[in-house]
């Protein structure tokens, strides 16, 4: 079997804070009014993606890795991560504010949860007027001041609020408190992990009338209490070129803003490639086949691919590799 460009069935996640944009704008398979996430490409246990197109349709991502190993992932990726897919790809619709949260680093996550940590990045696809993100603190804190703010219900006064618009990009390293604000639609790229420490949830109740669980004690040893302006990603926006956005130990992300066709030689790339369409539409072709992709869709290209042809009149693609 030749590894043509692979698309996967979306795994939809209903969330207390979710809305209807994923269904209405991207035609995702959801019928609820509180759909918060579309997991596009996942190796998370219990939520493993399945191929949606071509001869491999119905095959799980784990089975693909079992069958094709280095051909799919790349030799260096297999050497580092074995048979675990190291990236989780999502689209997120926040109709309401998400909880204030953070993620542990690899060491803590391994010790406590036998999991990877969770470093992530966000690309803003759409934002209502006045929408913002919470990213970090607005001053350097001591642990006791933070604990007091939880007890006094004043945590929100210590947080940093960032207004956002389409195209804004944020890198969220482990330990940084953060939250997606109401009215934001974004693409998320992250380590394969579902470990989140929730520290404040606006005293909201779930559908059963219960307050959601907080992870106050677990979070204390995981939080970075310092004020750091290290989260906004500045990147070039040259047309019909591959523009670097993020290069971290867990993933590399570029943006490709196209108004004409583009040919890429990826022979030397020892990694799979993921393309998330954040605007427009395109056809992506390798030696073994092609797949159409439109806004809100994702395609996986095997590491064994040498040549990639992107055919389009207009598209913006996020390119993700290891």
Structure token digits, residue 12? 């939809």
C-alpha distances out from residue 35 to 21, 166, 258, Å: 8, 21, 30
Report helix, strand or coil for 156: helix
Dist. CA 161–CA 178, nearest whole Å: 9
Closest CA to 262 of 275, 247, 272: 275
Dist. CA 310–CA 147, nearest whole Å: 51
Instruction: Exactly one of 80, 112, 198, 212 is catalytic; name it.
Output: 198
Dist. CA 273–CA 125, nearest whole Å: 21
Concerning whether 198 is annotated as a catalytic residue, the answer is: yes
- The answer to whether the beta carbons of residues 103 and 120 sit under 8 Å apart is yes
Classify strands 100-102 and 273-286 as parallel, antiparallel or unpaired.
Answer: unpaired
Active site residues: 198
């Amino acid at each position: 079997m030749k590894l043509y460009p692979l698309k996967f069935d979306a795994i939809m996640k209903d969330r207390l804070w979710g809305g209807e944009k994923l269904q209405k704008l991207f035609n995702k398979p959801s019928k609820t009014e509180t759909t918060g996430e579309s997991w596009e490409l996942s190796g998370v246990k219990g939520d493993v993606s399945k191929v949606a197109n071509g001869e491999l349709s119905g095959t799980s991502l784990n089975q693909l890795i079992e069958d094709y190993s280095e051909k799919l992932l790349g030799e260096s990726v297999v050497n580092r991560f074995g048979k675990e897919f190291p990236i989780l790809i999502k689209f997120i619709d926040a109709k309401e504010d998400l909880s204030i949260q953070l993620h542990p680093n690899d060491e803590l996550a391994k010790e406590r949860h036998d999991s990877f940590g969770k470093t992530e990045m966000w690309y803003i696809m759409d934002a209502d007027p006045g929408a913002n993100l919470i990213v970090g603190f607005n001053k350097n804190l001591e642990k006791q001041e933070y604990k007091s703010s939880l007890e006094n219900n004043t945590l929100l006064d210590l947080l940093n609020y960032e207004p956002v618009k389409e195209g804004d990009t944020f890198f969220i390293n482990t330990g940084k408190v953060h939250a997606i604000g109401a009215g934001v639609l974004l693409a998320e790229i992250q380590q394969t992990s579902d470990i989140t420490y929730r520290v404040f949830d606006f005293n909201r109740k779930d559908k059963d009338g219960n307050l959601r669980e907080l992870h106050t004690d677990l979070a204390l040893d995981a939080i970075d209490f310092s004020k750091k302006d290290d989260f906004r990603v500045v990147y070039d926006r040259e047309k019909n070129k591959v523009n670097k956005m993020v290069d971290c130990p867990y993933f590399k992300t570029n943006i490709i803003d196209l108004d004409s066709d583009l040919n890429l030689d990826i022979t030397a790339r020892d990694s799979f490639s993921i393309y998330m369409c954040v605007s427009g539409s395109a056809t992506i072709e390798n030696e073994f086949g092609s797949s159409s992709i439109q806004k809100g869709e994702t395609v996986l290209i095997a590491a064994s691919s040498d040549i990639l042809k992107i055919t389009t009149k207009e598209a913006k693609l996020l390119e993700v590799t290891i």
